[in-house]
Structure formats: structure tokens, C-alpha cells
Amino acid sequence: MAVQEEEVALERMEIKLYNTLSRSLETFTPLKDGVVSMYHCGPTVYDYAHIGNLRAYVFADILRRTFEYNKFSVKQVVNITDVGHLVTDGDDGEDKMTKALKREGKPLSLEAMREVATFYFERFTDDLKSLNIETPHEFPRASDHIAGDIEIIEKLQEKGIAYTTSDGVYFDISKFPAYGKLGNISLESLKDGSRVAVNPEKKSPADFALWKFDATLGWDAPWGKGFPGWHIECSAMSREFLGQPFDIHTGGIDHIPVHHNNEIAQSEAAYDAPLAHYWMHGAFVTMNDGKMAKSAGGFVTLKTLEDDMVSPLAYRYWLLTAHYRSPVNFTLEAVRGAQNALIKLMTAVSNLPEGGTLVAGYGERFRASINNDLGMSQAIALIWELLKDTAVADTDKRTTILNFDRVLGLKLGSLAPVEEEKVPEEIQALADAREEARKAKEWEKADALRIEIENRGYVVMDTAGGIKILSK
């Protein structure tokens, strides 16, 4: 262990990251030496997260782990949107949380909204744990930070950048000439896009809501009761927890044209300082080559994957075999293939004896891969190469792989496949009962059995060669 720590404490190496703002690979320079502040747009907690949403947080996690591996101290914020996100990214359509209240037959009240949001927030944190994603340092909920929204809107009003109409307070984009700089978005494309509904009271069709009036549901504000726009929430929460500017802001690519350009416009116009220095965006998970979206229904969750005996860690492995900026098309077969590979890897690691040291040459190559815009697929390939390398002692292989797993987060040292004849009888019985329940499509029962198996320290995965039981 001591040797391992020593090796990682080498000189801090250069980290290159793709910055959407400059549309180029840049060498990362933090605002404060040795410290990284990051804000990741979090989920709208009106439903379960689908596996596409979760890719955004696996990406944030490998970014954090890469910095930590390079001995940076990281402060990471993931917000929870529990109010204000409309079904479109623009200013019209129903509020997603209101939609959830109706779906679940709950009253239209802030209390009921909070309750529904809390339920899905907890499911989201369960998902993060299953994917071995490090818990962010802060999880602010938008509904707890309304005062911060109001403060920025008041500032914008004072500066003459916001104006009031009969249905809300709007940002006047003519006052922010740099509007659209992220991703080089042209105003024309926004006007033609779906986000801009005809609203004769707006000065420009591309102006966006900072606050929407609602006489029955919402919070009191100087200009009238209602609720904040989705974009202002991120400006307020990032400012409160990280200050302005902070280092890195991330999200999925869908956030570039509207949400992130709006965050930039509000924060930069209000405080005459950049919002964040680096903007990073993760590509989408598609299904049948189409977009996977909560609003489209029929999406895949970690739970549905687990019903198909695919472990969340196998999904994580599968994601890491592609670069975060490459779109990936989900198929069960592809993720099952990743699961086979992961089990093989876990088997190999569990057969390696303890007690070695980090192999310097491999360590350097690993760092070069991850520090080159998070090259995780190269890092995984390197592990396979190392396993085959007959010039390296088995003990050193183990130590080196476990060192790399601090970034990959695949639990390579803590899960080990159990030989069939060594599986305890009661675990085998539970696994068989689960199989029966699955065949009978009794999903709740199958799920309860899975949890029971996990509580006893085992994990069951389906592979090409049949069911495999792993122990923790």
C-alpha cells in the first residue's frame, strides 16, 4: 500500500480536457492551485432516472476520480431540480413536477411536490450507489434555494437586463451580445427551434423566463408569486456553493444550446464575470438509434437492467469502453457482452496474489490515457494487456490493476466470482427462486430476492455461459 501511495504522489501531470466553450482540447488550469470546483446539472426528480441520464453522472464521476487520482482536492456539486423544469427546455409546457403530481394522483401543492421529489431523489442516490459513483459533496435542491434565484433576478432587473410581462419575468438577450457563445449557437437556429413559442409580449422570441407567475402554486417574490425558471436555479446554486467563476460545469450535450447558454447569460450579465472556465458535455445513450428520453416513455432504468440480470457495474464497464464524447447505442446484448468481460476481469484479479507494487511503465501509460480527456477505454485495454504480460509478476499485476480501479470504479478487488460447488446452499436456493420469479414475470418478488441475495453479500449476473454468482 505504501509503495502504491508513493507512486501516485509523483509530480502532478498535465490534464487535457475538451472545453465546449473553446471547442478544443485544453490543458486544465484550476482557479486555485490543487483544487477543482465542479458543478454538474442534476436530474429533474419527477420520475426514475433512465440509464441515459445516469451516463451523465458516470461521466462526472470519472472526471472527479481522475482529478483525485492526480492528487487534486475536488469539490463537486450535483443539483436536484425539484421545481421549474418545463416539459420543453423553453418557457412553455407543463412543469415536469406538476405532471408527476397528476400522474401519481397527488394534490397540486408544494408539500406534495416535495414528497414526490424526495422519493425520486432517493431512488437517484440509490442508482448512484449501485453504479459506484462517489457521493457529491453537495446535493442542493432547487426548492431550498429560491432566495438565490430572486437575488440574481433582482440584480438583472436593476441593470435593466430583465423585464416583466403578464406571465413572468424575462431575460432580455439583446443586452447580452455574447448570447449563444457556448457551442456557437446562432439565434436564428433557436428562433426556428421548438424552444421559442410565440409570445407577443416578449421583446425577442429568444428571450427566456427567469420567473413564471403562478397565483396558486409557488413562492412569493417581489414581482409576484410563482416559481423560478429552470436555468436560473443552476446559476443560483452553483454561485452559492462554488462562487463565480468556478472551474468546470458539465451536463449532457442537450444542455448546450439552451440551458447552458441561458445559465451563462444570466450569471455573466448579472455579475460581469465568467460563470465557469471549462464546459464539458457528455454524449447521449441512444436506443434503437433514437434518443432515450423520460418524456418519451419506455425507457431503461437500472432496475429493468437488473431484472435482466445485468449488474449496474456491467453497465458502468460498458460506458467506460466508449469515450464520454461518443454516442453509444444501448442493446441488452452489448451490455451483456460487457458483463462477460467484467466477470472475466474480476475472476482474473481474484486469482492474483496480494503483495506487489505498482508497475511504473503501466502506471505512466494509465495516467497518460486518463489525463488525455478521460481516455477510459484505453485504460481498460491497458489492464487486459497487463494481464497478458508474462514479464510482470502476478502480485504486481494485482496491485497495479487495483490502483487503476480507483479511477475506473469497477470494484475489481471487492467482487469475486464463486466456483459453482462453493456457492452456499441458501444463496443458490435464493438465486434459483429468483430465476423462477423472473420466468413467471413476478418482478417484485424477483427484485426482493435480488436484494436479499445482495444483503447476504452476493451478486448474481447472467452470462453467456449461464448464471454466475459473485461474492463481495
Residues at the contact surface with ligand AMP, assessed by CB under 6 A: 41, 43-44, 52-53, 55-56, 81, 251-252, 254-255, 284-285, 291-292
Closest approach, Cβ 241 to ligand AMP, in A, equals: 18
The nearer residue to ligand AMP, 44 or 130, going by C-beta atoms, is 44
Interaction partner, residue 456 (Zn ion, ligand AMP, none; CB < 5-8 Å by kind): none
Closest approach, Cβ 145 to Zn ion, in A, equals: 13
The nearer residue to Zn ion, 210 or 305, going by C-beta atoms, is 210
Classify the phi-psi angles of 275: left when phi > 0, otherwise alpha if psi is within -120 to 50, otherwise beta.
alpha
Long-range contacts of 231-234 (CB under 8 A, 24+ apart): 231/258, 231/259, 231/262, 231/263, 231/266, 232/84, 232/149, 232/152, 232/153, 232/266, 233/79, 233/81, 233/83, 233/84, 233/142, 233/145, 233/149, 234/39, 234/41, 234/79, 234/259, 234/263
The nearer residue to ligand AMP, 255 or 450, going by C-beta atoms, is 255
Interaction partner, residue 56 (Zn ion, ligand AMP, none; CB < 5-8 Å by kind): ligand AMP
CB atoms closer than 10 angstroms to residue 115:
13
Closest approach, Cβ 251 to ligand AMP, in A, equals: 4
Closest approach, Cβ 59 to ligand AMP, in A, equals: 8
Closest approach, Cβ 186 to ligand AMP, in A, equals: 21
Closest approach, Cβ 433 to ligand AMP, in A, equals: 34
The nearer residue to ligand AMP, 53 or 262, going by C-beta atoms, is 53
Closest approach, Cβ 200 to Zn ion, in A, equals: 29
For residue 386, give the nearest of 413, 361, 415 by alpha carbon: 361
Phi, psi of 311 (to 5 degrees): -80, 145
**Alpha carbon distance 400, 392 (integer Å):** 10
Interaction partner, residue 52 (Zn ion, ligand AMP, none; CB < 5-8 Å by kind): ligand AMP
State whether the Cα torsion 329-332-334-335 is positive or negative: positive
Span from 40-48, 204-212, 360-368, 394-402 in contact with Zn ion (CB under 5 A): 40-48
**Alpha carbon distance 89, 290 (integer Å):** 19
Cα distances from 456 to residues 111, 302, 428, 431, 450, in angstroms, run 37, 20, 12, 12, 10
Q: Which amino acid is at 314?
A: A
Q: Contacting Zn ion (CB under 5 A), which of 17, 36, 38, 41?
A: 41
Interaction partner, residue 400 (ligand AMP, Zn ion, none; CB < 5-8 Å by kind): none
Closest approach, Cβ 417 to ligand AMP, in A, equals: 30
Reading the block at residue 469, the C-alpha cell is: 454468482
State whether the Cα torsion 342-133-292-468 is positive or negative: positive
Which residue in the shown chain puts its C-beta closest to ligand AMP?
252
Reduce the DSSP state of residue 122 to 3 states and report it.
helix
Q: Which amino acid is at 268?
A: E
Interaction partner, residue 234 (Zn ion, ligand AMP, none; CB < 5-8 Å by kind): Zn ion
Question: Exposed, middle or buried, 329 (CB in 10 Å: 0-12/13-18/19+)?
Answer: middle
- Grid coordinates 412543469 are at which residue? 95
Hey, which residues between 209 and 238 contact Zn ion (CB under 5 A)?
Answer: 234
Number of residues this chain uses to bind Zn ion (CB under 5 A) = 2
Interaction partner, residue 386 (Zn ion, ligand AMP, none; CB < 5-8 Å by kind): none
Span from 34-42, 125-133, 271-279, 415-423 in contact with Zn ion (CB under 5 A): 34-42
The nearer residue to ligand AMP, 243 or 290, going by C-beta atoms, is 290
Interaction partner, residue 292 (Zn ion, ligand AMP, none; CB < 5-8 Å by kind): ligand AMP
For residue 377, give the nearest of 340, 314, 324 by alpha carbon: 324
Closest approach, Cβ 420 to Zn ion, in A, equals: 48
For residue 85, give the nearest of 234, 230, 205 by alpha carbon: 230
**Alpha carbon distance 133, 71 (integer Å):** 18
Interaction partner, residue 284 (Zn ion, ligand AMP, none; CB < 5-8 Å by kind): ligand AMP
Residues that bind Zn ion (CB under 5 A): 41, 234
